[in-house]
Amino acid sequence: MSTRTTDPAWLLVTRREVVSRITDKSFLIGTVLMVTMLVGFIGFTAWQDEKTDEVTLGATPDSVAMATAVADGASEVGDKVDVTLVELDDEAAAEQALEEDEVDAWLHPVADGWELTSESSEQESLTAVVEAVVRQQVLTENAADAGTTVEELEAGSAVSTAFLRGDAEKAAVAQAVGFVFVFLFYIAALIFGMQLASSVIEEKQSRIVEIIAAAIPLRHLLAGKVLGNTALAMIQLLVYLAVGLVGLSFTPYKSYVPALSGPTAWFVGFFLAGFIALACLWAVAGSLASRTEDLQATSTPLTMLMLAMFFGGVSLDGRGQVIASFVPPVSAVVMPKRILAGGVEWWEPLVALGLLAVFAAVTVWVGERLYRRALLQTGGRVSLRQAWSAAE
């Protein structure tokens, strides 16, 4: 006895989209590669932060005392720099040691102070330590000769930095995570959007869509494609975010993980609303084309919109960032960045998400009409005006 499913058509299409993609090797390999790259980047960052930079400093007889002070004071200037002192007989021995890589740099006095000579490239960590220690030593000696102290000479000269919200390290972490949010949204919308549009074109070009249209309403076909690709994008996003937060807990920035959880949850909500709107537009771009070659032309406005979102999310600041955080669909990437930075009133994300949801609803309504009226037209590329005014 045969059985018939009672599931709605849109759910069947959604299931087909998810199953066909999630079992596709390219999808799985791409996801695994991205996770591997993410883990590798986090691991490399943690290793770099914990790594001690070991350098060798050469000193001739006229600079042994100063070089010894540099080696002893290195840990106070940079706790990740370990300076080993190598005593050299004279200038010729110093140059030979540099050429043979026996020392990383040679410290010696010159007419107007001290010079740090290296073979062909500057040792940045060593330079920073030498500059700080030499300056302190020379100031101490000059102060003693003048009958005063370094503290008295430097009184009132200290310059500190402050933030209205948080501190410098927190701001740097928020900036980095904000960029990751923008990048993930851009990549997901571009990759899944292109795949969605391409599948629409393939069905249209092969005339399979005419068979499907005879069996189910086209709005169900659109809903299933959009929801299926949205589900896949969300699965990938949640995997990346989970790996990122867990990986971050093994780095020196692990104390920020709890503070990042809230903004990450907000980002998921903004991602969902923004992606649905863009996915519907990608489906429209596919329906307007009759051949794969037409997709570049029909998707150009959408590609430009996504580039504007990416660069806006990365570069906007100040009042421009505040305004953009309420303007859909740019708000999908800008508001999460503002939430990360802090200082956002409790109602602002709610208003921005509400406006984005309204934009998504309008986009779905307009896109559904354009999609239905353009999908079955196979006489060539369809313009937006033709699709809008075409008969049902």
User: 48 pLDDT exceeds 70?
Assistant: no
Instruction: Name the residue with higher pLDDT: 305 or 143.
Output: 305
User: 5 pLDDT exceeds 70?
Assistant: no
Is 231 contained in some domain?
yes
Mark whether 242 and 345 lie in a shared domain: yes
pLDDT at position 265: 95
Is 49 contained in some domain?
no
Mean pLDDT of 206-234: 89
pLDDT band at 1 (very low <50, low <70, confident <90, very high): very low
Mark whether 368 and 338 lie in a shared domain: yes
DSSP 36-92: HHHHHHHHHHHHHHH--EEEEEEE-GGGHHHHHHHHHHHHHH-TTEEEEEEE-SSHH
pLDDT at position 229: 94
Task: Calculate the alpha carbon distances from 191 to 49, 241, 282 in Å.
Answer: 33, 18, 11
Domain boundary among 83, 118, 153: 153
pLDDT at position 167: 57
Element (DSSP H or E) covering residue 109? strand 105-110
Mark whether 140 and 280 lie in a shared domain: no
User: 162 pLDDT exceeds 70?
Assistant: no
pLDDT at position 172: 79
d(CA 138, CA 63): 13
Is 159 contained in some domain?
no
Mean pLDDT of 106-113: 86
Instruction: Name the residue with higher pLDDT: 163 or 231.
Output: 231
Mark whether 132 and 239 lie in a shared domain: no
User: 163 pLDDT exceeds 60?
Assistant: no
User: 276 pLDDT exceeds 90?
Assistant: yes
Q: What is the dihedral of CA 149, 150, 153, 154, to 10 degrees?
A: -150
User: 87: which strand partners?
Assistant: 59
Is 3 contained in some domain?
no
Is 111 contained in some domain?
yes
Mark whether 293 and 381 lie in a shared domain: yes
pLDDT at position 231: 94
Digit-coded pLDDT (tens) for 318-376:
899 999 999 999 999 999 999 998 889 999 999 999 999 999 999 999 998 899 888 87
Is 143 contained in some domain?
yes
Mark whether 244 and 296 lie in a shared domain: yes
Q: Which of 1-5, 69-73, 202-206, 316-320 is predicted most confidently?
A: 316-320
pLDDT at position 390: 66
pLDDT at position 94: 85
Share the mean pLDDT of the chain. 85
Mark whether 89 and 31 lie in a shared domain: no
Task: Give the total number of structural domains in the chain.
Answer: 2
CATH of the domain at 89: 3.40.190.10
User: 92 pLDDT exceeds 70?
Assistant: yes
Mark whether 98 and 67 lie in a shared domain: yes
d(CA 288, CA 304): 17
Domain that holds residue 14: 9-43+165-389
Is 385 contained in some domain?
yes
pLDDT at position 378: 72
User: 18 pLDDT exceeds 50?
Assistant: yes
pLDDT at position 2: 44
d(CA 341, CA 314): 13
Helix-helix angle 347-375:257-288, to 10 degrees: 20
Domain boundary among 132, 153, 174: 153
Is 367 contained in some domain?
yes
Mark whether 301 and 336 lie in a shared domain: yes
Instruction: Name the residue with higher pLDDT: 210 or 308.
Output: 308
Mark whether 177 and 141 lie in a shared domain: no
User: 128 pLDDT exceeds 90?
Assistant: no
Mark whether 171 and 276 lie in a shared domain: yes
Mark whether 73 and 107 lie in a shared domain: yes
Digit-coded pLDDT (tens) for 222-271:
999 999 999 999 999 999 999 999 888 888 778 888 889 999 999 999 99
Domain boundary among 153, 183, 207: 153
